[in-house]
Structure 1
């Protein structure tokens, strides 16, 4: 009988293990670079100084076709590699309402920009939790708006710009007294090969040259790494950012890194493989490219309904700044809604730290009445139906205690009282709540669902729907029915 050969005894298996060991050793010690053991000031532990990744030139672009087949929904591959949460000591919000937010709608007027900038200042509070906002400075109108906002003398939000990568534009930024500007540095092979028609080295050299021009005139660059969630991370992104950090150290001028999830491909889950892993991207910037949290910023889009959660995860894993726009207005499905991140901040920190969330309601009303932009009614925090209910069982709960069906004290935090819309499903409770809310009745005068007035209104509502009505009852109609009831009551008296 032939003895079964153990896998461990198989010469091919031993040869394979030797190959893996040699490969691993070559990675660690390639080009004379051995791991160093150094203390990490963030974790307070001894850690290995990681291998420094170098640019990998390729003849053909890496388009990750297994992940992004284009004719199918993008895939979410897992590699089960986990990275630790490491929220920075300080986190904040930045704004792109006047840059990315203007790329999907008609341009704001100078007056509208100034008004919104004032409201951003009040919303962000004295501690500057809304730290910066960025502007175009291409046109005369853009520059006029910047000048008028600068004349207000606010420390926050600080005014920054976004420009074409030319020496003339850098000088314009400097002449206007703007300290920081955004520079587009597309980083996926989709953009490098297909849009720019360059090799990776040509793209990197071009980007570094542009950054050098900014440093030359004393302007702080903010590098927008476009399409990072489809980029070859360790073969292009990390080597490029390592070069940027070296330039920053040499010049003494901070260079910010904005990670742009341009197509909304980012995934917040643990154990997801790069390039879609938000935790993995943020961890890699800090541990393989030496980017400190305060120079790291996340900019996301909402194509797959993950803008807010991806932004929150970026905070959790070490990114200090989240770039947003008011009401989430931005290209295609929009940007990260700034108002949502105000509440994410308060949820994570346990306080608003000086922010005034009631300004959010003022901003929504300004868009509706002054700008003519109608917020989708279901939009959290700002939509007309945000804290409105049509269900009778919910209205009954609100009538007993609004905390049962209201996410928090919306009157206190957003200056918005919970609302009930009367329809065929509202019932007596919904009508009673509507009356109390619409007429702002004090506690001692509030009506219950058994009140004769409520019964009268409900009979009228039921009759409307039994006759084939399919629309909601308007406030004006209800007020008219109540007026009829009161007149009838007075006549009887």
Structure 2
């Protein structure tokens, strides 16, 4: 039943997506840069293991130069025997890369802010000198046997010719991947397509996307870039991260799988548990209306909806909750109808006639409109009022 359509039109369209798409998750690095978030080593290990169980091919485990504890955390994860490759973030500084080497990672993402604004405010050096610093870092990482990704921070606010210039240098210096960082979430999907398309024309190296969600476009921008030849995407669980967060791991995976017919082979049944773990340890509640993993996604009250869902869940659900390891919830309230009450009564092995059923429906609506949530205890009270023993 999970294979039934989400929309009949999705199957009518051919999507020009890369044959292989790599998701590198940065929950343990950019996710932890959410103000107020600080994962313990044990928490990081549990998250890393759950990401590995999901099937994430690359885990960005942290930023080793930040502190001695951070370096130890990254090193512990790198030596945990996970199937995922473990990478980390470094500035374009030898000390950062040495810290990464000491942490036993498989690779690094070395970055530099390259917009005119970043160079003026942060570096105050000519672009030619900055380009040389960046390539020295790429060379140093490659010379030490690391997978090296070069990331242009604030790429989406950097003039395209300047970006292409340094990306070409990175390719010449044998960088394994170049990253387009939408650092302030300031690009839209059409502009992202334009950008990736024109970079792809000039380069023959893997392109990755690191999108922030300031305008709510992080997942859309990621998919837009994939459609134009990017093949690697950065995500975080629950979309956590600086400011408005990053591209949501669960939204990207399920969108690709069900809306773009691109199944990346992930064990999606662990998504709900992974979301809960990250929410618990980050202390960031998942909004009830959050796509894919929000509590209300498979929670139904409206009588019209419940009546149809009992007969066929696909009437009001795009996919079955079991796909992400969760369950459907039927909620009793002012919008409830006979179908919801019948299902509740069936779960209690209680049979009533039509008249009594309608009486219970009426009592449920009245109690909810008085401000009472229809909990199991409240429903028991309603049954007593209706003389149901």
Output the CA distance in 1 between the equivalents of 2:228 and 2:354: 55
Instruction: Rate the CA distance shift 1:465–1:357 in 2: closer, same or farther, 3 A.
Output: closer
Contact 1:367 1:374 in 2 (8 A): no
For the 8 Å contact 2:156–2:182, the answer to whether it is kept is: yes
**Aligned match of 2:374:** 473
Q: Which residue of 1 aligns with 2:30?
A: 100
Equivalents in 2 of 1:447, 1:247: separation in Å?
Answer: 74
Mapping of 1:305-316 within 5 angstroms? 305-316=216-227
Q: 1:193 to 1:150 in 2, by over 3 A?
A: closer
Partner of 1:8: none
Note the C-alpha offset of 1:167: 1.6
Q: Aligned partners of 2:112, 2:372: CA distance in 1, in Å?
A: 51
Report the CA distance shift for 1:370/1:460 in structure 2 as closer, same or farther (over 3 A).
farther
1:346–1:352 Cα contact (<8 Å) kept = yes
Q: Which residue is 1:220 aligned to?
A: 147
Structure 2 match to 1:139: 67
Secondary structure of the residue aligned to 1:135 is coil
SS of residue paired to 2:46:
helix
CA gap of 1:371–1:175, structure 2 versus 1, over 3 A, is: closer
**Preserved CA contact (<8 Å) 1:419 1:434:** no
Does residue 316 of structure 2 align to residue 405 of structure 1?
A: yes
Query: For residues 107 and 278 of structure 2, what CA distance do their matches in structure 1 show?
Result: 28
> Partners in 1 of 2:70 and 2:350 — Cα distance?
52
Q: How many residues align?
A: 374
Separation (CA, whole Å) in 1 of partners of 2:314 and 2:344: 16
Does residue 153 of the first structure (1) align with residue 74 of the second (2)? no
- Asked if the contact 1:285–1:291 (Cα under 8 Å) also holds between the matched residues in 2, the reply is no
1:283–1:317 Cα contact (<8 Å) kept:
yes
In 2: Cα distance, 1:113 partner to 1:454 partner: 50
Residue from 311, 331, 337 that aligns with 1:421: 331
Q: 1:353 to 1:243 in 2, by over 3 A?
A: closer
Q: Distance in 2 between matches of 1:349 and 1:391?
A: 30
Residue 79 of structure 1 corresponds to which residue in structure 2?
Answer: none
Quote the residue 1:260 is aligned against: 181
Q: Structure 1 residues 431 and 111, CA, compared in 2 at 3 Å: closer, same or farther?
A: same
CA contact 1:390–1:421 (8 Å) conserved in 2: yes
Structure 1 residue 472: Cα displacement: 4.1
Q: Is the 8 A contact 1:112 1:371 kept in 2?
A: no
> Which 4+ stretches in 1 moved above 6 angstroms?
445-448
* Matched-pair contact (CA < 8 Å) for 1:223–1:257: yes
What are the residue-to-residue correspondences of 1:290-309 with 2, within 5 Å?
290-292=203-205, 295-309=206-220
Change (3 A) 1:479 1:135: farther
- Residue 103 of structure 2 corresponds to which residue in structure 1? 176
SS at match of 1:313: helix
What residue in structure 2 maps to residue 206 of structure 1? 133
Q: Which residue in the other structure is 2:44 paired with?
A: 113
Paired residue for 2:93, among 153, 163, 166?
166
2:369 is the counterpart of 1:459: no
Instruction: Quote the Cα distance in structure 1 between the aligned partners of 2:377 and 2:125.
Output: 63
Structure number with greater Rg is: 1
Structure 1: 5+ residue runs without aligned partners? 1-84, 249-253, 270-276
* Shift in Å, 1:453: 5.7
Matches within 5 A, 1:25-64: none
Alpha-carbon contact 2:58-2:86 (below 8 Å) kept: no
- TM-score normalised to the size of structure 2? 0.87
Q: Is the 8 A contact 2:72 2:103 kept in 1?
A: no
1-structure distance, mates of 2:219, 2:73: 29
Q: How big is each residue's C-alpha offset from its partner over 1:452-483, in whole Å with a ceiling of 9 and x where there is no partner? A: 564343232233256xx24643344224434x
Once residues 291 and 191 of structure 1 are traced to their aligned partners in structure 2, the CA distance between those partners, rounded to angstroms, is 27
Structure 1 residue 240 corresponds to structure 2 residue 170: no
The 2-side partners of 1:302 and 1:172 are apart by 30
2: distance between equivalents of 1:245 and 1:368? 38
Cross-structure match for 2:293:
382
Q: 1:276-318: per-residue Cα shift (whole Å, max 9, x none)?
A: x111221122212x133xx211010111111111111111111
Q: 2:54 aligns with which of 119, 123, 145?
A: 123
Match of 1:188 among 106, 115, 136: 115
Which of 257, 262, 272 is equivalent to 1:346?
A: 257
Deviations 1:225-281 (A, max 9, x none): 1111111111x1111111111111xxxxx4321101111122223xxxxxxx11122
Give 5+ residue unaligned stretches, structure 2. 1-14
Sort the Cα spacing of 1:149 and 1:451 in 2 relative to 1 into closer, same or farther, 3 A: farther
> Residues 91 and 112 of structure 2 are in contact (CA less than 8 Å); yes or no, is this contact kept in structure 1?
no
1-structure distance, mates of 2:145, 2:311: 62
Deviation at 1:402, TM superposition (A): 1.8
The 1:400/1:263 distance shift into structure 2, 3 A limit, reads same
> Secondary structure at the residue paired with 2:113?
coil
